[in-house]
Structure 1
């Protein structure tokens, strides 16, 4: 195969992976964003003294709806939509490329999937973190949708007041690296290893169910394992407890502070909406990626 043919083949594969990953991410975010808003609200509230605090999932949905109406559940959706195509493209494309690179090393297939997932998560985190800073800030705002600043306006405000660094648009980068790295390591590692163990089913409906079930378990397991990093990220990127005083700075110091002041279970705030989002959402993403990628392979 000539260099030109190899380049064309790589370009086609890359475009298929990018388009399939972007389509999967866009579908997942549109379906699951309300649960992400609820998860963030749980994670940034401290203690249980404030009467405005959310007591449970039902209470949070009712309070958000009564105070902020339907659009309140879609606060901060523009940043993930804007970044979803490149974010998921990076996620799936780099996962495939890390798998190829790791193929030159004598690793077991199971370990290859996990390490490739870790690498894709770390790469994805670098791309997505500025958008996460803007998204969390907008989600934390409890004004009505019409009263809150626009996405671009809020991003400009962050850049103007805090800059582009680790106190500004890249605040919470270490926590985001931990969140995405660990999630993708478990998510991809579990999904592809288990999928290779459980036999294919000739019935298309049952085969879809097999893949969806494995994807669901992958998303749930990854969510449970990485949630302390997610809580730390939300605390660092969200409003600080005392205005003008920065309490949550680095990932592990934030985790330690939360544990010391609020106990172990505070590190799992927002776990239920996170599981409800990333369990089925993770399954939707993997299936959408596989089916779109397969369609592109056959038709383009």
Structure 2
């Protein structure tokens, strides 16, 4: 039976609101780890004079040189982006999942393919914000000395325009990062959640979902991080000012591998997992609980 237009719009609006809420909560909690991850990823080997010796050294150095607010550099673009970004992420996942239902795909595969589609869509929406964010995060001046997000965006547009040399620089790497992440993230979470039995105790059920979300975010982070490293190198400062060394996604991966070794493609993995392991769980739980609350609110009317 066809769904009434009003019901579809209502359900879609609930998905958008729940997804946006999930993104806002996650970014406010986890942004400092994203700053640390980006700083590690732009390091060009042990000879980099601006490099950090360890995760602890990175935290300590940022705090000493840039203050507590240094951990929140570049947070304004993600705050502006996270609400529509996560709204797009969850809304498109639900829509792709419904469309794939007509293709008679196994449910496990449908979750993964829907996740891939949502990730690619999300990447297109978020990439300009990512360019501004990475540029701000890699600025090692004090927080009060760096340009605002708006001024930084203007500078990027002035020097590189709106295309692949400017505000949409690194789009291919962003597509790979988000596509692969969401494919694994949604595919693993919903397949495992449907297999493990639901717990009647609400506290234990919360822990069940959180645990599955934690593992989902962790595995997805491990698999997609080479794309993340490539994105940071392309969107971040180049080794020689005025010369573009990191230009395309796969060529950047090959250059990093050739010059710095295989492990360089996994730079920033620890802070990434620290962020997107629990952060991934937080997003899924906020989305599910907010969406359920919105649906219950309507049903009670």
2-side partners of 1:66 and 1:247: how far apart?
31
- CA-to-partner distance for each residue in 1:66-99, whole Å, 9 max, x for gaps? 0000000000000000011110000000000000
Match of 1:82 in 2: 80
Match of 2:161 in 1: 163
2-side partners of 1:118 and 1:288: how far apart?
21
Match of 2:253 in 1: 255
Corresponding residue to 2:221 among 223, 242, 247 = 223
Cα offset for 1:48?
Answer: 1.1
Superposition pairs for residues 90-109 of structure 1, below 5 Å? 90-109=88-107
Match of 2:194 in 1: 196
Contact between 2:38 and 2:134, CA under 8 Å: does it hold in 1? Answer: yes
- CA-to-partner distance for each residue in 1:124-151, whole Å, 9 max, x for gaps? 0000000000000000000001100110
Match of 2:30 in 1: 32
Q: CA RMSD in A?
A: 0.9
Corresponding residue to 1:296 among 272, 277, 294 = 294
2-side partners of 1:71 and 1:184: how far apart?
30
2-side partners of 1:159 and 1:51: how far apart?
29
2-side partners of 1:219 and 1:94: how far apart?
19
Contact between 2:78 and 2:133, CA under 8 Å: does it hold in 1? Answer: yes
Please list every run of at least 4 consecutive aligned residues from structure 1 whose deviation after the TM superposition is greater than 3 angstroms.
Answer: none
How many aligned residue pairs are there?
298
DSSP 3-state at the match of 1:146: helix
1-side partners of 2:176 and 2:188: how far apart?
18
Superposition pairs for residues 13-28 of structure 1, below 5 Å? 13-28=11-26
Match of 2:7 in 1: 9
Match of 1:286 in 2: 284
* Structure 1, unaligned runs of 5 or more: none
Contact between 2:184 and 2:219, CA under 8 Å: does it hold in 1? Answer: yes
1-side partners of 2:98 and 2:49: how far apart?
53
* Structure 2, unaligned runs of 5 or more: none
2-side partners of 1:182 and 1:50: how far apart?
30
2-side partners of 1:295 and 1:55: how far apart?
46
2-side partners of 1:20 and 1:51: how far apart?
44
Cα offset for 1:50?
Answer: 3.6
TM-score (norm 1): 0.98
Cα offset for 1:51?
Answer: 4.6
1-side partners of 2:16 and 2:155: how far apart?
31
- CA-to-partner distance for each residue in 1:102-158, whole Å, 9 max, x for gaps? 000010000000000000000000000000000000000000011001100000111
Contact between 2:43 and 2:50, CA under 8 Å: does it hold in 1? Answer: no
